[in-house]
Structure 1
Amino acid sequence: MTPHINAKPGQIAKTVLMPGDPLRAKFIAEKFLTNVELVNTVRNVFMYTGLYKGKPITVAASGMGVPSIGIYSYELFKFYDVDRIVRIGSAGAYTADLKLYDVVLVNEAYTDSHAYAEMVLGQKTHVLRPSAKLNAQLLENALKLGIDVTVGRIHTQDVFYSSRPLEKTIEISKAIAVEMESFALFANAKKLGKEAACLLTISDNLITHEETSSEERETKFSQMMEIALELA
């Protein structure tokens, strides 16, 4: 056990899906898994292990932001011997072409600050990439399920309420959408020789100002969930 996870050895599966919201983790476990066990309750960051189509998988909340997912993904990789983590989260679109509920598969994560990469990897980089192998598997899963996926660069932003003009942020990041966690997940995977990927559902559009409700973000992002669950 770690300071942040009280699961016992063997209670975490080799494949972990990480939504940000603990209640989304609970929803996924109850809706899609069988033989479900709640294996972590520290700080109410719920983690569940169960079976999907007879195969073990863990759904673990990450909390919000780089520091939070940085802690949980590192501990899962390092101390629970997890092989691969897929973040399944929400994102705000930087382009009018992305509609509410569209699914995005991340092929690059850009961050404004190189601090996390410098501290974890010892390098000053603003861009990190997921596992190419894992991305290929997720694309194959989406194809089999008949779900359209947009592949692109996302912006992992540390500041939610930024005063920088949106147009400037989009110009700098060259991203199609924004979220707050993927860069740290990719850094930890690279550091520890593990696999990581990120699937996102568009929850709001910063260009058109369309948005979903908190309840919809918790329960209605099922396509992204189904693509990731097929990795079990």
Structure 2
Amino acid sequence: MAHTLFNDEYKYHIKVKQGDVGRYVLLPGDPGRCEVIARWFDNPVKVAQNREYVTYTGTLLGEKVSVTSTGIGGPSTAIAVEELAMVGAETFIRVGTSGAMQPAIGVGDLAIVTAAIRDEGTTRQYMPIEFPAVADIDVTLALRAAAEKLGLTFHLGVSQSKDSFYGEVEPDRQPLAEELNARRRAWIAGGAVCSEMEAATVFVVSSILHKRAGGVMLIVNNQFAEGGHESHHPILDRLISTGIEAIKLLIEEDRVVRR
């Protein structure tokens, strides 16, 4: 028998119930971005707030859609995806910020994530490491089409999903500096486009729940460039508009399939 918390009307962590969220959900990490993203919806309403989880629901093209923050990293992200799926969410798009892993990728560009390196611990409690963290093809194509339609610079490729932020940005001061640097060089040599902390979890958990998931990241740092950083606030609209347009495309495609 399932634990009673799974049978509660309101989900234990995110505090939403059946009917509170749409089939399509955008997943930022930062709770503060939920209201900003919700402004792109028609008739947005804040439906829940608990811990790192903030949820707004509105409509796009007449279809109910939502945005829920996941917090930072895999454990809290897995909880968000699990509980959103319990109340009817079917399509997840991670919308986050990341650092570039290739010299040619500029700050302000987008990374549309096709798969993720499982350089974290959460997904290992779901599936053996041999199981790939892969984005849904329809969601990925919708994100690519959205970025093309909006005329934005984007890069398709693999992301590194990690657990330690400072282990990646300041590896030389860590006890495992040699190993961290060697692994990072390997990801770069293999063609990884960006580094973030949630995509692998979104992809693996969605896969085992038989849900669709994809991810688009705004590049806010490039270690290869002089200066390397830029405030992401003026360019955040690039990320949000791509996620919004991708959901619209998916809604239109799904309506055709359902006919």
* Same fold by TM-score greater than 0.5: yes
Say yes or no: does 1:207 pair with 2:232: no
CA distance in 2 between partners of 1:176 and 1:168 (Å): 17
> Residue 104 of structure 1 contacts residue 199 of structure 1 at CA under 8 Å; is this kept in 2?
yes
- Among candidates 59, 62, 77, match of residue 70 of structure 2: 62
> Residue 8 of structure 1 contacts residue 39 of structure 1 at CA under 8 Å; is this kept in 2?
no
CA distance in 1 between partners of 2:133 and 2:97 (Å): 19
Mind listing any 5+ residue stretches in structure 2 that lack a counterpart? 1-9, 168-173, 249-259
The CA deviation at 1:6 is 1.5
Residues 32-71 of structure 1 mapped to structure 2, 5 A cutoff: 32-71=40-79
CA distance in 2 between partners of 1:25 and 1:136 (Å): 24
Q: Deviations over 1:84-139 (max 9, x none)?
A: 100000001122211111001001200224x4333212x22374110012111221
| Corresponding residue for residue 170 of structure 1 | 184
> Residue 155 of structure 2 contacts residue 193 of structure 2 at CA under 8 Å; is this kept in 1?
no
CA distance in 1 between partners of 2:60 and 2:87 (Å): 20
Secondary structure at 1:46's aligned position in 2?
Answer: strand
- Among candidates 89, 93, 98, match of residue 86 of structure 1: 93
Secondary structure at 1:40's aligned position in 2?
Answer: strand
> Residue 189 of structure 1 contacts residue 196 of structure 1 at CA under 8 Å; is this kept in 2?
yes
Q: Which has the larger radius of gyration?
A: 2
> Residue 111 of structure 1 contacts residue 126 of structure 1 at CA under 8 Å; is this kept in 2?
no
> Residue 92 of structure 2 contacts residue 214 of structure 2 at CA under 8 Å; is this kept in 1?
yes
| Corresponding residue for residue 149 of structure 1 | 154
| Corresponding residue for residue 252 of structure 2 | none
> Residue 18 of structure 2 contacts residue 88 of structure 2 at CA under 8 Å; is this kept in 1?
no
Please, what TM-score do these two structures have when normalized by structure 2?
0.81
Q: What code does the residue aligned with 2:194 have? A: A
| Corresponding residue for residue 187 of structure 1 | 204
| Corresponding residue for residue 101 of structure 1 | 108
CA distance in 1 between partners of 2:12 and 2:109 (Å): 36
Secondary structure at 1:39's aligned position in 2?
Answer: strand
| Corresponding residue for residue 15 of structure 2 | 6
Runs of 4+ in 1 over 4 A off after TM superposition: none
CA distance in 2 between partners of 1:56 and 1:181 (Å): 24
The CA deviation at 1:168 is 2.0
Please, what TM-score do these two structures have when normalized by structure 1?
0.89
Among the aligned pairs, what percent are the same residue?
26
Number of equivalenced pairs: 225
The CA deviation at 1:56 is 2.1
Mind listing any 5+ residue stretches in structure 1 that lack a counterpart? none
CA distance in 2 between partners of 1:35 and 1:112 (Å): 39
> Residue 117 of structure 1 contacts residue 125 of structure 1 at CA under 8 Å; is this kept in 2?
no
Secondary structure at 1:172's aligned position in 2?
Answer: helix
What is the alpha-carbon root mean square deviation over aligned residues? 1.9
> Residue 14 of structure 2 contacts residue 54 of structure 2 at CA under 8 Å; is this kept in 1?
no
Secondary structure at 2:221's aligned position in 1?
Answer: strand
> Residue 112 of structure 1 contacts residue 126 of structure 1 at CA under 8 Å; is this kept in 2?
no
The CA deviation at 1:170 is 2.7
